Amino acid sequence: MDETRKTTGGTIRGTVADGIASFLGVPYAAAPVGPRRFARPEPTSWDGERDATVPGPTAPQGPTEAPGMPDISPVLGPGWVPGSEYLTVDVRTPDTGGSGGSGLPVMVFVHGGSFTGGSSRASVYDGTQLAREGAVVVVINYRLGVPGFAHVPGVVANRGLHDQIAALRWVHDNAAAFGGDPDRITVFGESAGGIGVADLLVAAPPGLLRRAVVQSGGGSHALAPQQAAVTTAALAEDLGVTPAGLVDVPDEGLVAALGRLGQDPPDLAVGGRDPLMGLALVGPVIDDDLLGGQPVDAVAAGAAAALDLLVGSNADEMALYSVVLGEAMGLPGPDEDALHAAVARLHDDPGAVIAAYRSAGRGTSAAEVDDAVRTDWMFGVPARRLADAHQGRTWRYAFGWRSPGWEGRLGACHALELPFVFDVVGRVDTGAFVTVDTEETRALAARMRTAWVAFARDGDPGWPGYTADAPTTQRFDTTDALTDTPDGPEQAVWDGVR
């Protein structure tokens, strides 16, 4: 059955199935083409009734599937689906017979993908089950790669982040049309999306947000301009243009160049450590507009104190990269020399770090210690620092359910919590993540879905809040548990290290 809603841009026609209304590919900004391609997003509108029954195009990006590679498309989507109108949102909401209703919490999801991939079309991001719990669920698309995040001379920085703000503004202005409360908007995101959410804590205009959830992200990952310029220069050299000339290169050329650069990435540790740890070549940049510095420092100074914050990470984040992607590409695990060199890029005393992690039982082999160190540096430590810095109401979680995939070595890897948060375990194929469909996993998914919606609705996910002095943290696993010691003693090696 079809159903229509009136938005600020025009009328849209979606579908209703099993009590959930879906509106897909709804533009929140004008197509980023021509002079808008490297500019701030602009509002859009249309005449007549717009079809919102099928997914829209996606931002230019590389493929998410390749022969011999594990299937991670459930959290990245189908890759590049061409079309100019890709600054869109997908909305799912409890059906109210077209009246719109009012008062439901609104949950806006920002997808991950290293700032170069991903879309709302990923099967895991189906917001149906969250909507059944009583929320309006919005999944946004934004510019990626060079058009979204490369630091190009002569154009506005952080264009992808500007897109996210424009999407939030559209959601705020149109929440009531879908039964939502514009004063109860929660933005949540994972990985690059989690970093984006942490940035939005300080970059979003007042009044757009009430709450935020940072999943496997943090407020310590903004690139300095001189670091971002390394990628820009390398891309320009590859394409035979000046850095400013990147704006004239077609999307196909930019995607291909970024892919080539990823095969032999440049060192972004210029004037300091690479805050993205080599996992991304582009990303949010410190500028004179949205990000005046690292977001965690602004949060510590009082920014976002009026917002409720839920933040957390997974126990074995780096296993996605070392076990799944590393083995598929035939990359050898590090030996002791390689481990020492890798840790030296993160800490001035790598020997002390390695000894601390081995003493704490965080690994025996070089590969195990490398995974543990990088899991903490990129994900665990930034989550703790953001939670400690936040001066408003704060909650923290830790995801520990271990996938049986890859002979159990996948563990609680990066992005594994997503099928549980969206409660799609047993409902969609999760590919390489191997979530398995059992009574225990479905129960865990139901608990996480309920907690996320409760946080969006009431600002209380169902466990005590977090402070630096009383760091109560909810561990999600087959059996959930509260802990007041979420961080091992080995993490003390990172104190004072930025």
Pairwise CA distance, residues 478 & 476, whole Å: 7
8 Å CB contact between 221 and 279: no
Backbone angles phi, psi at 171, to 5 degrees: -60, -45
**Catalytic residue at 365?**
no
**Residue of 317, 368, 417, 490 with catalytic role:** 317
Pairwise CA distance, residues 162 & 287, whole Å: 13
Backbone angles phi, psi at 151, to 5 degrees: -90, 90
**Residue of 172, 414, 417, 490 with catalytic role:** 414
> Distances in Å between the alpha carbon of 461 and those of 135, 304, 439, 451?
14, 19, 22, 5
8 Å CB contact between 25 and 54: yes
**Residue of 114, 191, 322, 403 with catalytic role:** 191
**Catalytic residue at 49?**
no
DSSP code, position 469: S
Cα-Cα-Cα-Cα torsion 480, 481, 487, 490, nearest 10 degrees, comes to: -80
Would you call 138 helix, strand, or coil by DSSP?
strand
CA Rg value for the chain: 21
**Catalytic residue at 162?**
no
Pairwise CA distance, residues 316 & 308, whole Å: 26
Tell me the one-letter amino acid at 218: G
Pairwise CA distance, residues 332 & 375, whole Å: 18
Pairwise CA distance, residues 143 & 289, whole Å: 18
Q: Which residue has the tokens 């920014």?
A: 303
Pairwise CA distance, residues 418 & 428, whole Å: 12
Cα-Cα-Cα-Cα torsion 264, 269, 275, 279, nearest 10 degrees, comes to: 10
Hey, which residues are catalytic here?
191, 317, 414
